[in-house]
């Protein structure tokens, strides 16, 4: 399981790549390129191909430690079929699409670790209850399905920035995940060619406390990894301030800045995420 259970930390790395489960010829390449691959049985697969997609997942020989399987929403017939397949497979990290009700997760036994995808108005509204479920190890949010569930047409403004409702949902999932000791995963950036926008969003996600960002194209992996990697200047400062703290008691002054425990926690986080 790609989590450090002692903290809300994604241990595999920050770039999680979706791969359609009906394209088995892509599984290996996606697995090699990303920190974890999400084999998608939901939106990336046409209804007529879902049965064969399950067969491809069941037959996969990928290392389960680096694989997440996204299943269909709990209120669908496909979900039941997905669950039956997973119980007979080696894969145990499951992303549950359109999670809206914590009780719907009770069908998973303690063999499974769940990533809940809150991407509807009801899912965002119930984020606190969902985060508290004992099988949940991480939460992710989705912008496009969220806006669609509200009857909207676009999650972003003409300048490329999220609308307020999407920003609220993003913050809600991050806060509830953190409050319950779970990891938080940021939504995909669907404009594949907008590497600048992706880099900005991923850098903001890392600074805000997200553990990873999902993506839909292999070329986005390196952008996300770079964004989550602290720069050399910040890393050097973190090492220096932590070294200085060893000889101090309580609050102290370092290079013109007041240093207290919250600042030291930030520094420890930088060191933990640096190479």
Contact 198, 223 (CB under 8 A): yes
Find the mean pLDDT for residues 153-180.
96
- pLDDT confidence tier of residue 129, bands split at 50, 70 and 90: very high
Q: Based on the fold, state whether residues 138 and 261 are members of the same structural domain.
A: no
Output the domain CATH number for residue 163: 3.20.20.60
- Average of per-residue pLDDT values in the chain: 93
Rg of the chain, C-alpha, whole Å = 19
Backbone angles phi, psi at 218, to 5 degrees: -55, -30
- pLDDT confidence tier of residue 10, bands split at 50, 70 and 90: low
- Residue 26 has a pLDDT of 98
Q: Based on the fold, state whether residues 215 and 242 are members of the same structural domain.
A: no
The DSSP H or E segment spanning 54 is helix 50-59
Q: Based on the fold, state whether residues 192 and 255 are members of the same structural domain.
A: no
- pLDDT confidence tier of residue 233, bands split at 50, 70 and 90: confident
Find the mean pLDDT for residues 241-255.
91
Is the pLDDT score of 1 beyond 50? no
Is the pLDDT score of 5 beyond 70? no
Structurally, the chain folds into a number of domains equal to 2
- Express each pLDDT in 96-107 by its tens digit: 999 999 999 999
Contact 30, 37 (CB under 8 A): yes
- Express each pLDDT in 27-67 by its tens digit: 999 999 999 999 999 999 999 999 999 999 999 999 999 99
Q: Based on the fold, state whether residues 120 and 178 are members of the same structural domain.
A: yes
Q: Based on the fold, state whether residues 112 and 13 are members of the same structural domain.
A: yes
- pLDDT confidence tier of residue 241, bands split at 50, 70 and 90: very high
Q: Based on the fold, state whether residues 162 and 44 are members of the same structural domain.
A: yes
Is the pLDDT score of 8 beyond 50? no
- Express each pLDDT in 59-76 by its tens digit: 999 999 999 999 999 999
- Helix extents (H) in 189-260: 195-208, 219-228, 232-245
Find the mean pLDDT for residues 115-130.
98
Q: Based on the fold, state whether residues 58 and 185 are members of the same structural domain.
A: yes
Strand 3-4 relative to strand 9-10, pairing: antiparallel
Contact 16, 33 (CB under 8 A): no
Is the pLDDT score of 4 beyond 70? no
Q: Based on the fold, state whether residues 150 and 178 are members of the same structural domain.
A: yes
Contact 39, 167 (CB under 8 A): no
Strand 252-254 relative to strand 36-40, pairing: unpaired
Q: Based on the fold, state whether residues 213 and 263 are members of the same structural domain.
A: no
Find the mean pLDDT for residues 151-165.
95
Q: Based on the fold, state whether residues 94 and 166 are members of the same structural domain.
A: yes
Find the mean pLDDT for residues 185-202.
97
Instruction: Tokens 């108005």: give the residue.
Output: 121
Enclosing domain of residue 147: 3-229
Find the mean pLDDT for residues 147-159.
95
Q: Of 212, 213, 226, 141, give the one whose Cα is nearest residue 176.
A: 141
Strand 257-259 relative to strand 252-254, pairing: antiparallel
- Residue 6 has a pLDDT of 42
Q: Based on the fold, state whether residues 200 and 238 are members of the same structural domain.
A: no
Find the mean pLDDT for residues 145-159.
95
Q: Based on the fold, state whether residues 224 and 242 are members of the same structural domain.
A: no
């Amino acid at each position: 399981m790609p989590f450090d259970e002692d903290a809300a930390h994604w241990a595999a790395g920050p770039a999680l790549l979706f791969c359609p489960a009906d394209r088995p010829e892509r599984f290996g390449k996606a697995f090699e390129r990303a920190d974890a691959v999400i084999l998608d049985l939901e939106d990336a697969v046409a209804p007529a191909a879902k049965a064969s997609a399950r067969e491809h997942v069941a037959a996969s020989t990928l290392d389960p430690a680096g694989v997440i399987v996204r299943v269909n929403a709990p209120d669908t017939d496909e979900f039941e079929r997905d669950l039956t397949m997973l119980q007979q497979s080696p894969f145990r990290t499951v992303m549950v699409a359109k999670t809206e009700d914590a009780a719907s997760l009770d069908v998973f036994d303690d063999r499974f670790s769940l990533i809940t995808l809150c991407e509807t108005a009801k899912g965002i509204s119930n984020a606190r209850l969902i985060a508290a479920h004992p099988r949940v190890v991480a939460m992710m949010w989705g912008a496009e399905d969220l806006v669609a569930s509200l009857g909207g047409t676009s999650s972003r403004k003409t300048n490329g920035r999220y609308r307020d409702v999407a920003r609220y949902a993003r913050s809600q999932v991050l806060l509830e995940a953190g409050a319950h000791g779970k990891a938080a995963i940021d939504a995909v950036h669907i404009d594949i060619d907008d590497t600048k926008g992706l880099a900005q969003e991923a850098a903001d996600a890392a600074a805000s406390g997200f553990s990873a960002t999902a993506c839909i194209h292999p070329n986005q992996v390196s952008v996300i990894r770079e964004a989550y990697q602290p720069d050399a200047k910040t890393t050097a400062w973190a090492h220096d301030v932590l070294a200085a703290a060893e000889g101090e008691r309580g609050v102290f002054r370092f290079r013109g800045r007041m240093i207290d425990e919250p600042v030291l926690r930030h520094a420890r986080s930088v060191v933990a995420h640096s190479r």
